[in-house]
Amino acid sequence: MMKTLKRFLKITKPFIHLQIIGFLITVFYSVAYFAAPIASRYMIDIVLPSKSFVLLKSGIIIFFIVCILQPLFGFFRNILFLSMSEKISNYLKCDLYQSLMKTNMDFFINNKKGAIISRIMNDSDNISDFITSFFVVVLKNIILIILISCAMFYLSPLITLSVFSISVITLVLLTYLSKGIQSIARTTFEKKDELNTILTQSLDSMETIKAYLMESHFVNGFMGISSQIERINIRLGKRKQFLSIGVEGLIVTCTMFIYGVGFYQVMNQQITLGSVVSLGLYFQMIVPAIMELANNNFRIQQIIPSLDRIEEYETLPVEEQGDIWIDEFSTIQVEDMRFGYDDSNIVIDNLNMTLKRGEMVAIIGDNGCGKSTLTKLLLGLHRAKSGKVKYENECVEDISLKSIRNKVSYVPQNASLLTMSVIDNIKCGLNRIQDNEIIELSKKMGFYESILELENGFETVINESTNVSGGQKQKIALIRAMVRNPNAIILDEPTAALDQESVRALLKYLKLESKDKIIAIITHNREVIEICDKVFNLSYASSIN
């Protein structure tokens, strides 16, 4: 429990000022809540027997003030903790997102997109909602339990000790019966991850699903997991209802005991009627307070899996990199490289090659021989199991990855565009690049007219409904790579989506650029291969002039 509390405090530390204000408001709320039975006792034991209109008027005013303060303080408390909840949720989401941006590519290979989205969006909200209610419930109820216990002992030690003994035995039994919640909750989160993964995959691959009549396969998969979640939630719900009926039974039993023994003592003039009524009211107030604290244990068991999942992402390994900054380089060397995504699947083995400025190199090979993987190794997106990648004799492990990616432009086989205008997609955050530079470059590359065919030309906003063709998408990605004026250009099947005229225009431009740049092109296109200075066959690790 203490370990979990420390984890909560770590998350809420940036919001300590809100917690202090919330604590003070909660104290005022609890005191107002506690004062209601005292006001009732005053009305019954003092005002009614006196038959005084003056006392009645003052009693009603006191009772009204005490009762109205409860919702008033409750309103301010709820507004404050609502703000705190949203701030914590935002803090966690931003923190997790930054961790994702800083981690290495191995993480994205080994984790499904739907599961990642689920952790950032759902787990952050779950934790923020719980922490907020946790502080509200714990603070309010601890204060109430202390105040009410003292008041009940003052009114009747015998009745108080009796009902407390019954309550403790019942609550211990209910707590024991609530075991296993954490395991059930963890399973729920895992199943929700699977459901998110299916949903994401369905949306990303809808054309393929429909083209190959796979709708029923995905529907059955979705319904199967959704049904499992339904059954798990019903199990959790039944446990909650069992606890709820146990508490209600406890309240009924103890209330009967309080009024039975209390009225007997009233008849024997051992206690006043107002005291008995106050005891009954206090007990009905203290049991929910105790149960809410006990239920926090129930809720903690549910939320611990979310905490574990959040912490796992918060401690993701950061991309390893050196501190050497390179502004210029004329060679990229690969020495004795060996790489595999796992030990049983070695993709590249004992590779040696050199890319030089002034040369345009075609990289060819059979499917699965590691061509696309090689480009990621050159960019430092993956690390080789053994061997080295060197930029101007400096190992990639010793170089700042930012400096490499500033000087190496890469266009993957399936280039992605961001939800922003074409011009902003090309700039990719580099505001130093002027619009006229992009337009001039697109003309040199022979892509200008194609971009103008879009709805708003270079100002067209790319959206998820694919408002650009595959060829236009490829051209935008190629312009984006070239406008940075890089030292090296690595292209993965750049001509696959281009028409013949665009291919020729691109190759003409690349040939001119290769005079003072390193250009490596992964390709199966014979026209591309023929224009290159060298051809490197990765299947046989051989170079041909």
Burial 243-254 (b: 16+ CB within 10 A, else e): beebbeebbeeb
pLDDT at 172: 76
pLDDT at 173: 73
How is 444-501 classified by DSSP, letter by letter? HTT-HHHHHTSTTGGGPBP-TT--S-HHHHHHHHHHHHHTT--SEEEEESTTTT--HH
Same domain flag for 287 and 350? no
What distance in Å separates the CA atoms of residue 302 and residue 504, rounded to the nearest whole number? 61
Range of the domain at 78: 2-314
pLDDT at 534: 92
Same domain flag for 279 and 412? no
Same domain flag for 419 and 455? yes
Any idea which residue has 């919001």 for tokens? Answer: 15
Does residue 475 sit within a domain? Answer: yes
pLDDT at 464: 61
The lowest-confidence range among 126-140, 417-431, 452-466 is 126-140
The DSSP code for 318 is B
Mean pLDDT to the nearest integer, 291-312: 74
Query: Is the CB of residue 103 less than 8 Å from the CB of residue 294?
Result: no
Percentage of residues in the chain having pLDDT higher than 90 = 19
Nearest to 478 by CA among 433, 457, 448: 448
Same domain flag for 304 and 339? no
Per-residue pLDDT tens for 56-110?
888 888 888 888 988 898 888 888 888 888 888 888 888 888 888 888 888 887 8
Mean pLDDT to the nearest integer, 239-248: 75
Does residue 326 sit within a domain? Answer: no
Q: pLDDT-derived band of residue 162, with 50, 70 and 90 as boundaries?
A: confident
Q: pLDDT-derived band of residue 211, with 50, 70 and 90 as boundaries?
A: low
Same domain flag for 86 and 162? yes
Q: Degrees (nearest 5) of the Cα angle 235, 238, 239?
A: 90
Q: What is the CATH number of the domain that holds 200?
A: 1.20.1560.10
Chosen domain end from 314, 343, 359 = 314
Query: Is the CB of residue 139 less than 8 Å from the CB of residue 26?
Result: yes
Structural domains in the chain (count): 2
pLDDT at 413: 84
Does residue 384 sit within a domain? Answer: yes
pLDDT at 342: 75
pLDDT at 475: 92
Give the phi and the psi of residue 391 in degrees, each rounded to 5: -110, 110
Report whether pLDDT(545) > 70.
no
pLDDT at 212: 67
Query: Which amino acid appears at position 466 of this protein?
Result: T
Same domain flag for 385 and 446? yes
Edge-to-edge strand ranges of the sheet holding 542-544? 408-411, 488-492, 518-522, 360-364, 534-537, 542-544
Chosen domain end from 286, 314, 342 = 314
Provide the token pair at 290. Answer: 């105790």
If one compares 335 and 415, the residue with the highest pLDDT of the two is: 335
Chosen domain end from 314, 339, 366 = 314
What distance in Å separates the CA atoms of residue 535 and residue 531, rounded to the nearest whole number? 10
Q: What is the CATH number of the domain that holds 454?
A: 3.40.50.300
Same domain flag for 261 and 377? no
Q: pLDDT-derived band of residue 244, with 50, 70 and 90 as boundaries?
A: confident
Per-residue pLDDT tens for 492-527?
999 988 999 999 999 999 999 889 999 999 999 999
Give the phi and the psi of residue 215 in degrees, each rounded to 5: -55, -45
Does residue 235 sit within a domain? Answer: yes
Same domain flag for 298 and 350? no
Does residue 138 sit within a domain? Answer: yes
pTM comes to: 0.71
Does residue 325 sit within a domain? Answer: no
What distance in Å separates the CA atoms of residue 147 and residue 141, rounded to the nearest whole number? 10
- Going by their DSSP bridges, the two strands 386-391 and 534-537 should be labelled as unpaired
- Going by their DSSP bridges, the two strands 360-364 and 386-391 should be labelled as unpaired
pLDDT at 360: 94
Report whether pLDDT(544) > 60.
no
| Stated length of the chain | 545
Long-range contacts at 4-11 (CB < 8 A, ≥ 24 apart): 4/300, 4/304, 4/307, 7/307, 7/311, 8/131, 8/134, 11/88, 11/91, 11/92, 11/127, 11/131
Per-residue pLDDT tens for 14-66?
888 887 888 888 888 888 888 888 888 888 888 888 888 888 888 888 888 88
pLDDT at 26: 82
Provide the token pair at 246. Answer: 């146990």
Does residue 320 sit within a domain? Answer: no
What distance in Å separates the CA atoms of residue 349 and residue 366, rounded to the nearest whole number? 15
The number of beta carbons lying within 10 Å of the beta carbon of residue 23 is 13
Per-residue pLDDT tens for 308-356?
888 888 888 888 888 899 888 999 999 988 888 777 778 888 889 999 9
What distance in Å separates the CA atoms of residue 441 and residue 429, rounded to the nearest whole number? 18
Same domain flag for 308 and 419? no
Burial 325-362 (b: 16+ CB within 10 A, else e): ebeebeebbbbebebeeeeeeebbeebebbbebebbbb
Same domain flag for 103 and 238? yes
Nearest to 543 by CA among 389, 359, 385: 359
Same domain flag for 420 and 474? yes
What distance in Å separates the CA atoms of residue 201 and residue 195, rounded to the nearest whole number? 10
The DSSP H or E segment spanning 201 is helix 181-204
pLDDT at 82: 84
Report whether pLDDT(138) > 90.
no
Does residue 91 sit within a domain? Answer: yes
Same domain flag for 347 and 300? no
